[in-house]
Amino acid sequence: MEIYLTRLKCLLRNKDNLFWAFIFPLILGTFFYLGFGKLSMDDSFNTIDLYIASDYTDNTLVEIMKNAKYDDGRNLFNMNNSYTKEKLDNDFESDKISNYIFIINDEITYQIKQNGIEETIIKGVLDEYIQIKSLYQSVIVTQPDKIKSIENSLNNQVTYLVEKTTGTNPSANKMIIYFYALIAMACTFGGYWGIALVNDIQADQSPLASRVNITPTHKLKLILLYTLAAITIHFLGNLVLIAYLKYVLKIEFAHNTILIVLTSFIGTISGIALGAFLSSIIKGSPAKKEGLITTISLTLSFLSGLMIVDVKYLISKNVPFLSYINPTSLLTDCFYSLYYYDDIGKYLVNLGMLSIISTLLIFMTYFKLRGHSYDSI
Amino acid sequence: MTVFNLYLKILNKNKIAIIVYIVIFTILTLIMVNTIYVQDSFSNTKVDIAFIDDDNTEYTNNLKDYISDYAVIKNIKKEDLEDAFFYRDIEMIIEIPQGFTNSLASENKLNIETKTIPDSAQSVTLQRAMEKYINLSRVYIENDLKTDNLHQSLKDILDNEAKVNINSKIKVDYTNSEFYFNYLAYVLLAMLVTVIGSIMTSFRPIEIKRRNNLGSVSNKKMNLILLISNLLLGIFIWLIFIIISIILYSDIMLKTNGLLLMINCLIFLFTVISIAYLFVVIFKSGNVIGALATVVSLGSSFLTGVFIPQFLLDDFIIKIAKFIPSYWYVKANSNISTLYNYNNTTLKPIYSSFIIQIIFTFVFIILSLFISKYKQREEN
């Protein structure tokens, strides 16, 4: 117990590690939130401003455009047909309006500056008007007796498309991955503690470790206690991060808090294990190892979408193997599948893979560390 | 020369950081490079969708053919649909049930199931187009209208479209070069503050200062040479990025707008160096400055619109951002990128952004001088 407490104290004095493991993810999370926490990236529709020339117009069309509505009952267009074509021409030239409609000899002309979603919607409605008109015209010629019943059919519009309710929330989108990848990065930063762990235990790594090695305490006991101390600190830091994201920044998480905490716990272990493993196989100064861990964890995070979300999707689509061996990506996916899917099958697969990788790393580190004895260093 | 050689020696130790920044940055921008295009004819804004056809009849295939004017139909495995939707690889999932075609003529209507992003403008157009096609078919079937080929008759009607005149004055697209230069704000800050910080802090320990005081080079002269070396380093890195930008965007960079982008970047470079100096006089350890450089560069980039366009930022954040130099740098870039007429009114906002950045630079320099004087007195 005393060894454990002393070790905790030791770790808490390592200011650099504390900054990168605790403070930095919090700061980065705040930046993410300020930058795009409120963005959803989805375009949402609004009522569109629309101008029809007052002198070159078509009353039926004006009526139709005025009455066009979205599914939820909002007007599609905010119609203005009080200006003459000449005025609209001028306004268009001087960039006051971006599009307008005029009709000459039954031909509808839609004047625009560039292609876009609004332009596509307006043109869609104009097309519909022209097409129905042409339907009447062709029927009048071929089967004039059916005009009345066609009118009935047309007025009696049927809706064929129905929004499906699946288990997943259609508004949920990829922006949230930034925050999940951030937690995963913070877990991987546990690697710094892993380095310190090996560095202070393996006799050939530091004078302190040599001293520790000649104590009568069993090495396995030391390793276990040191690891436990590292896990305690890092796991706490991680919980603070998740609590901060969830309660202060109001980032959406799955409702199952226990599973979230479990994920973060296993994530912490995997991070520390990764650091310890790398540290045990690489010789060099702690600074060099820390540089390496930074590079590796940032690369893993990059592949999990921390910098550009689409990277993660592209990888899981094209090289799925990579996302199954990358602990950071597995962690991100754990949070994602918990949040997005109702069924926890996907979550369990990811968490299982992560546990297997962590166990492997721990065993490899242990075999590397155990059984060394030195006559002299 | 002795001082300059020493500077180069210390710089040499930092070369990996510099090279990594330059390489990663260049790769990132290369990924983001899109082709520059000019719009001169109308085209629908297409939405990416998945089209699952369990009916698979001639009719549904014709429907699929028709909506390809409005949508890009992607081939995605059924089990990957949800992921694809979440990452917005597709924005709509359309599932046609078995027996749909037959149901059109019968009383029992079958529905097409869709999954769309709520309030999405893009899918509205596609939904309307599909409803239109199916409803027209229904009109044909219900009224038993004569037709040899339903799809052909529908197409004849649907080919009647409104005439669209497109009149676009904007001929050159600066989006990519603007993105490149905006992103530079982050890279310059992160890289130069770290590197200059780590070089200058090597001179900080009191023992080294005492040793240097004994040397024949006066303190003033040494500081001057160091300052010039830092400026040279900055300009050298600036040149590298300018050369890359000329290679990437040769058609833009050699015009007036490109030149303005370069000047803006050069002005910002001096601001960055002055920030680095300010950190150097305040903090003793290179590690602390490195950590700060990461936090400050990321923070200011998120707040001032380097990573996301300024118009998307919250009003409150914009208010804060005005106190950060990179806000004015990004603003100038965006003004330059939409500059087509060169006159006083259009150039004025650009010049004022320049001037504000220069003022920031002076403020940082004065602050550093003040603090370093104070600290020196303390040391003596």
Model confidence over B60-107: pLDDT tens digits? 888 888 888 888 888 888 888 888 888 888 888 999 999 888 888 787
Q: Is B66 on the interface with A (CB under 8 A)?
A: no
Residue B103, Cα to own-chain centre: how many angstroms? 49
Distance set, CA A22 to CA A25, A32, A99, A238 (Å): 6, 16, 53, 7
Q: Do B196 and B295 fall within a single domain?
A: yes
How many contacts does A have with B, using Cβ atoms within 8 A? 218
Residues in chain B with CB shorter than 8 Å from the CB of A130 are 160-162
Answer whether B126's CB lies under 8 Å from B70's CB: yes
Evaluated on CA atoms A170, A171, A177, A183, the torsion sign reads negative
Nearest CA in chain B to A291: B17
Residues B240, B291, single domain; the answer is yes
Give pLDDT, residue B274.
94
Residues from chain A contacting residue B43 (CB–CB below 8 Å)? 115
Are B240 and B350 part of one and the same domain? Answer: yes
Q: How far apart are CA A110 and CA A103, in angstroms?
A: 9
d(CA A263, CA A249): 20
Q: Find how far residue B326's CA is from the centre of its chain.
A: 14
* Residue B6 pLDDT > 50: yes
- pLDDT at residue A376 in the model: 65
Please tell me the predicted confidence (pLDDT) of residue B30.
67
Tokens, residue A342: 């109702």
Is there a domain that residue B165 lies in? no
Is residue A358 within 8 A of residue A273, CB to CB? The reply is yes
Distance between CA atoms of residues B253 and B260, nearest Å: 9
Average pLDDT, chain A: 83
Using CB atoms, pick whichever of B112, B160, B295 lies closest to residue A27. B295
Q: Are residues B129 and B83 in the same domain?
A: yes
A123 → closest Cβ in B80, B111, B162: B162
Helix, coil or strand: residue A117: helix
**Chain A contact set for B143 (CB, 8 A):** 146, 149-150, 153
Query: pLDDT tier at A359 (50, 70, 90 boundaries)?
Result: very high
Q: Which residues of A touch B321 (CB under 8 A)?
A: none
CA distance B84 to A173: 10
- Same domain? B138 vs B231: no
Chain B interface, best mutation among A103, A113, A161, by max B CB count within 10 A: A161
Token representation of residue B152: 């052909």
Contact A161 B169 (CB under 8 A): no
CB-closest option in B88, B119, B125 to A174 = B88
Q: Which of B102, B135, B158 is at the close of a domain?
A: B158
Residue A373 has pLDDT above 80, yes or no: no
Residue A168 gets the label, from left (phi > 0), alpha (psi -120 to 50) or beta, of beta
Contact in structure between B172 and A143 (CB atoms under 8 Å): no
- How many CA atoms lie less than 13 Å away from B18 in the CB half-sphere? 19
With respect to residue B164, please indicate whether it lies within any of the assigned structural domains. no
- Cβ burial of B141 (10 Å; 0-12, 13-18, 19+) is middle
Please enumerate, as own/partner, the contacts of A289-292 that have beta carbons within 8 Å and a separation of 24 or more: A289/A195, A289/A199, A290/A192, A290/A195
Q: What is the pLDDT of residue A367?
A: 84
Q: What is the pLDDT of residues A282-341, one digit of tens each?
A: 877 777 787 778 778 888 888 888 877 778 888 888 888 888 889 999 999 999 988 888
- What SS3 state is found at A376? coil
| Cα distance between residue A23 and residue A15, in whole Å | 11
Task: Flag whether B182 is in a domain.
Answer: yes
Contacts of B122 in chain A (CB under 8 A): 43, 117
Contact A153 B168 (CB under 8 A): no
Count how many domains chain B has. Answer: 2
Query: In this structure, are B334 and B189 located in the same domain?
Result: yes
Give the model's confidence band at B178: pLDDT under 50 very low, under 70 low, under 90 confident, else very high: confident
Higher-confidence residue of A25 and A75: namely: A25
* pLDDT interval class at A38 (50, 70, 90): low
Closest CA to B325 of B365, B276, B279, B359: B359
- What torsion, rounded to 10 degrees, do the Cα atoms A84, A86, A89, A95 define? -80
Residue A212 pLDDT: 78
Chain B residue numbers with beta carbons less than 8 Å from the beta carbon of A42 are 88, 117, 119-120
A41 → chain B, closest CA residue: B88
**Residue B100 and residue B206 share a domain:** no
Query: Does B42 fall in a domain?
Result: no
Task: For residue A45, name the pLDDT band (cuts at 50, 70, 90).
Answer: low
Percent of chain A surpassing pLDDT 90: 17
End of a domain among B94, B129, B158?
A: B158
CATH no. for residue B95? 3.40.1710.10
Other CB atoms within 10 A of residue A285 CB: 11
In B266-295, the residues whose Cβ lies within 8 Å of chain A are 287, 291, 294-295
Position B339 in a domain: yes
Chain A hits for B163, CB-CB cut-off 8 Å, are: 107-110
Residue A142: predicted pLDDT: 79
What pLDDT score does B35 carry? 39
What gap in Å lies between CA B151 and CA B55, rounded to an integer? Answer: 17
Q: Which of B39, B128, B169 sits opposite A115 (nearest CB)?
A: B39
Contacts by residues A69-74 (CB-CB < 8 Å, ≥ 24 positions apart): A70/A45, A70/B124, A74/A47
Q: How far apart, in whole angstroms, are the C-alpha atoms of residue A45 and residue A74? A: 10
pLDDT for the residue A170: 75
Token pair for residue B124? 């509205």
Residue B364's pLDDT band, with cuts at 50, 70 and 90, is very high
What's the pLDDT tens digit per position in B156-175? 888 888 888 777 655 566 77
Which among A104, A126, A10 has a CA at the least distance from the CA of A57? Answer: A104
pLDDT at res. B36? 39
Q: Does residue B303 contact residue B328 with C-beta atoms inside 8 Å?
A: no
- Res B38: pLDDT: 43
Residues B195 and B307 in one domain: yes
Non-local CB neighbours of A125 within 8 Å, separated by 6+ positions: A64, A65, A68, A76, A77, B128
Q: Is the dihedral angle over the CA atoms B112, B118, B119, B122 positive or is it negative? A: negative
Q: Are residues B149 and B178 in the same domain?
A: no
Q: Note whether A70 contacts B128, CB cutoff 8 Å.
A: no
Q: Are strands B92-96 and B112-116 parallel, antiparallel or unpaired?
A: antiparallel
Q: Are A113 and B83 in contact (CB < 8 Å)?
A: no
Across residues B329-339, what is the average pLDDT?
A: 89
List of domains in chain A: 2-40+177-369 (no CATH), 48-155 (3.40.190)
Mean pLDDT of chain B: 84
Phi, psi for residue A61 in degrees, rounded to 5: -60, -45
Taking a C-beta distance cutoff of 8 angstroms, is the pair A82, A54 a contact? yes
Which amino acid, B89?
A: D
In a domain, B115, yes or no: yes
Which domain-ending residue is among B135, B158, B181? B158
Interface test with B, best of A51, A64, A135 (most B CBs within 10 A): A135
pLDDT for residue A29 is more than 60: yes
Q: What pairing do the DSSP bridges indicate for beta strands A107-112 and A99-104?
A: antiparallel
pLDDT digits 0-9 by tens, B228-280: 999 999 999 999 999 988 988 888 888 888 999 999 999 999 999 999 999 98
Query: Which DSSP category does A319 fall into?
Result: -
End-to-end CA distance of chain A: 30
Q: Judge if B105 and B184 occupy the same domain.
A: no
DSSP β-ladder status, B112-116 and A161-163: parallel
Query: For residue A161, what is the enclosing H or E element?
Result: strand A161-163
Query: Radius of gyration (Cα) for chain B, nearest Å?
Result: 30
A242 pLDDT band, cuts 50/70/90, is: very high
What residues of chain B lie within 8 A of the CB of A160, using their CB? 109, 111-112, 130-131, 134-135
B245 and B210 inside one domain: yes
What's the pLDDT tens digit per position in B27-61?
766 665 543 344 456 677 788 899 988 888 888 88
A27 near B299, Cβ under 8 Å? yes
A107: chain B residues, CB-CB within 8 Å: 163
Per the structure, the complete domain to which residue B187 belongs is given by 2-36+171-379
Chain A contact for B112, CB < 8 A?
A: yes
How far, in Å, CA of A103 to CA of A85, rounded?
10
AA letter at B173: D
How near does any CA of chain B get to the CA of A33, in Å? 9
Decide if B108 touches A, using CB distance below 8 A. Answer: no
Report the distance separating Cα A66 and Cα A69, nearest Å.
8
pLDDT tens-digit readout, A146-201: 778 878 877 777 888 888 776 677 777 778 888 898 999 999 988 888 888 888 88
Quick one: pLDDT at residue B236? 92
Q: Is A241 exposed, middle or buried (0-12, 13-18, 19+ CB in 10 A)?
A: buried
pLDDT tens-digit series, residues A69-98 = 776 777 888 888 888 888 888 888 776 788
Q: Between B87, B112, B120, which is nearest A174 by CB?
A: B87
SS (H, E, C) chain B: CHHHHHHHHHHHHCHHHHHHHHHHHHHHHHHHCCCCCCCCCCCCCCEEEEEEECCCCHHHHHHHHHHCCCEEEECCCHHHHHHHHHCCCCCEEEEECCCHHHHHHCCCCCCEEEEECCCEHHHHHHHHHHHHHHHHHHHHHHCCCCCCCHHHHHHHHHCCCCEEEECCCCCCCCHHHHHHHHHHHHHHHHHHHHHHHHHHHCCCCHHHHHHHHHCCCCHHHHHHHHHHHHHHHHHHHHHHHHHHHHHHCHHHHCCHHHHHHHHHHHHHHHHHHHHHHHHHHHCCCHHHHHHHHHHHHHHHHHHHCCCCCHHHCCHHHHHHHCCCHHHHHHHHHHHHHCCCCCCHHHHHHHHHHHHHHHHHHHHHHHHHHHHHHHHHHHHC
B164: nearest CB among A24, A110, A121: A110
Same domain for B7 and B63, yes or no, is: no
B54 touching A, CB under 8 A?
A: no
pLDDT for B29 equals 65
